[in-house]
Amino acid sequence: MIKVGVTNDYKSITQNLNCNSLWVDSIQVIFDADCPQKLLNDLRKNPVDVLFASHHLIHCITVAFYGQLKDYFPDIRIVIFDLFDQEKIRFNLSNSGTQKEFDRTKNLLVRTAKEIFIGPHIVFDENHDPQGFLEKLKLFRQGKYNFNDVVYISLREKYVIKLAAKELCAKEIAEELNISLRTVEVHKRNLMSKTNSKNFIGVILYALTNRVMTLEELYD
């Protein structure tokens, strides 16, 4: 059973997910949140596997908000309905932990609820050509494409960097942050990928060089 949360239900979303005969026993819509506070409360009370979210939940929602959601709910898959023309916003979305981004097309809803667990990180509406962006994203993560101010490092990831700098092993970091060992390893792999580092020392150096963290923050 895939548990789904929705923000600003577009009326057809829940109906399409629940009424599809092939998926009626596999998908359950748990809640529909219309503001950030309700969304947080619903997630605390009823954790879901997938969140179908609108970037325009209300005006104060930002890319960072979804990154913060991933800090508190690292296993959730976030699907963004709205497409964005600004390349910088797309880069920030992809690096904030958002798995997929596409226009709200009925044919994609059910498929996405399943494929988000096994497919690529970003999917665009079928009417748009994502190839150029995906190629740039690949080059960016390899350090071959310059794009200022795009690497998002979450609060949880900063804690992982800080504890690793103090020479704690992954198991000790997991105990310190009260998270699973697997989650720590995922964070470390993601950090190495985002910062194009061959090892975690490179991640620490990246954080210092790019002023993501200060020496005081690392070693206080």
- 149 falls within a domain: no
Please say whether the dihedral angle defined by the alpha carbons of residues 187, 91, 140 and 149, taken in this order, is positive or negative: negative
Question: Of 141, 167, 193, which marks where a domain is finished?
Answer: 141
Sole residue written with tokens 């970091």: 173
Q: Give the distance from CA 51 to its chain's centroid.
A: 10
CB-CB contact of 8 with 57 (8 Å)? yes
Q: Is the pLDDT of residue 31 over 60?
A: yes
Q: Give the distance from CA 161 to its chain's centroid.
A: 18
For residue 166, the domain's CATH number is 1.10.10.10
31 & 112 share domain: yes
- Total domains in the fold of the chain: 2
* Alpha carbons within 13 A on the beta-carbon side of 141: 16
- Rounded CA separation 220/87 (Å): 36
82 & 171 share domain: no
Expressed as residue numbers, the domain containing 209 is 155-219
166 & 135 share domain: no
Q: Is the pLDDT of residue 47 over 60?
A: yes
17 & 122 share domain: yes
88 & 40 share domain: yes
- 13 falls within a domain: yes
159 & 128 share domain: no
Write out pLDDT tens, residues 85-124.
445 555 555 555 544 444 444 445 545 554 554 443 333 3
Please say whether the dihedral angle defined by the alpha carbons of residues 72, 197, 189 and 86, taken in this order, is positive or negative: positive
Task: Give the best-scoring range by mean pLDDT among 37-51, 52-66, 134-148, 206-220.
Answer: 37-51
